[in-house]
Structure 1
Amino acid sequence: KIRFATGDILLLQAREDALQSSLNSLGCLPLASRGLSITTPRNVLLASAIFAITLAIIAIGLVPAATALVTGALVMILVGLIPVGRIYDSIDMSVIVLVAAMLPVGQALETSGGSQLIADALLSVDHSLPPAATLALLMVAVMLISNVVNNAAAAVLAAPVAISLARGMDASVDPFLMAVAIGASCAFLTPIGHQSNTLVMAPGGYRFGDYWRLGLPLSILVVLCAVPAILWIWPL
């Protein structure tokens, strides 16, 4: 009942060996593969259950996170959720290289004295701002850094800054470290800020500008909600 026009794009689900013949019969031309696959509800539930169990094991502290996650991935392979022949194809090496390359950048900024320089600059601003504004300023600064470097590298860089800032204000370190943790986890403005952003860019067909259009209001919302919650749970 739908009349298609030239230029329409269809998403077809078919076995790989029958896909070409289906395209020929429909008069369609195949586009470049984006690596998308539509699985069965059973597989979705099984994968979700394995992932939930893995997170529960990490949460109760039975095994380290790295061990639990690798074990969960192996279980998915053993139960047939990921074909053995596609194990290496399923690994996005560009994300691994990005994460590995950005960690030394954060360590270099810390050992070069950059963290102390930033802390001194924030302390100079602190004299004219209330503590809540200083905490929000630190969180925003970490958010901006985490959108350029990896979030782990941003946390490595900003944690010494937060500690120095808290000591300079003669305040508790906990709220400042929580601000760093939340800020480093909210890299919504660029596709390179977090590996999850990079992973969905190609399959979703997103452009660089799509991230900050949605990420900017989301980041503002996080700051407005997180700063009062931090000050309530971890007072200065």
Structure 2
Amino acid sequence: MALKVVPLRNIYESLDGSVIVLLGTLIAVADVIETTGAADLLAQVLLDNLAQGSAVVALALILIVTMTLSDFMNNVATAAVMCSIAFSTAEQLAVNPDSFLMAVAIGASCAFLTPVGHQNNTLILGPGGFDFGDYWRMGLPLEILVVLVSIPMLLWVWPL
């Protein structure tokens, strides 16, 4: 665009308005989750019932929940919603939030279980002759591998 190789009109025409509206709406939803205290409540439920006060377990749960949501939602929307929950979780544990926020970034990028989680998965569904369930065969081991590698790396690079 800056070099005038691609006309500005082509760029505007290639933008999908529904995606822009979706992202804008979900950013507002993420803000509502934070300002109403829902993020604090969800973080407290996560800590009390599942993590039982363990920062490492909470970190793994944030990663896994984010990965699961990104299989059904847009990854940017997932990150927007999960960031406030991850930050609140780290705040309640009184630990460095960097590792929790990076867990959200990693998890939001891992949409391997469904063809609807990422546009690339959707694009290869028909031409590849895949069924909805075919994504689980390779996606589940890949997501397990991501969790097994990510948690130690997050703790090493961004200590709690």
Question: Do these two structures clear the TM 0.5 threshold for a shared fold by scoring above it?
Answer: yes
Question: Looking at CA atoms only, which structure, 1 or 2, has the larger radius of gyration?
Answer: 1
Tell me which of 22, 33, 48 is aligned to 1:124: 48
Looking at structure 2, the residues matched to 208 and 129 of structure 1 have their Cα atoms a distance apart, in angstroms, of: 37
Change (3 A) 1:182 1:117: same
CA distance in 2, matches of 1:145, 1:118: 15
- Which AA in structure 1 matches 2:80? V
- Select the structure that is richer in helix: 2
> In structure 1, what residue type is equivalent to 2:155?
L
Distance 2:22 2:136 in 1: 21
Match of 1:146 among 53, 70, 79: 70
The equivalent residue for 1:49 is none
Higher relative contact order (CA 8 A, sep 6+): 2
1:111 aligns with 2:32: yes
Contact (CA 8 Å) 2:74, 2:117: kept in 1 or not? Answer: yes
Name the residue aligned to 2:82.
158
In the aligned structure 1, how far is the partner of 2:158 from the partner of 2:131? Answer: 38
Q: Unaligned regions of 5+ residues in structure 1, if any?
A: 1-69, 79-86
CA RMSD of aligned residues (A): 2.7
Seen in structure 2, the aligned counterparts of structure 1 residues 153 and 202 have a Cα distance that, compared at 3 Å, is same
Q: After the TM superposition, which residues 134-213 of structure 1 pair with which residues of structure 2 at under 5 Å, given as runs?
A: 134-213=58-137
Asked if 1 retains the 8 angstrom alpha-carbon contact of 2:115 and 2:135, the reply is yes
What is the distance in 1 between the residues matched to 2:19 and 2:41? Answer: 25
Matched, 1:214 2:138: yes
Normalising by structure 2, we get a TM-score of 0.80
Instruction: Report the 3-state secondary structure (helix = DSSP H, G, I; strand = E; otherwise coil) of the residue aligned with 1:203.
Output: coil
Per-residue CA distance 1:126-168 (angstroms, 9 max, x = gap) = 6625322211111000011111110000000000011101110
Structure 2: runs of 5 or more not aligned:
none
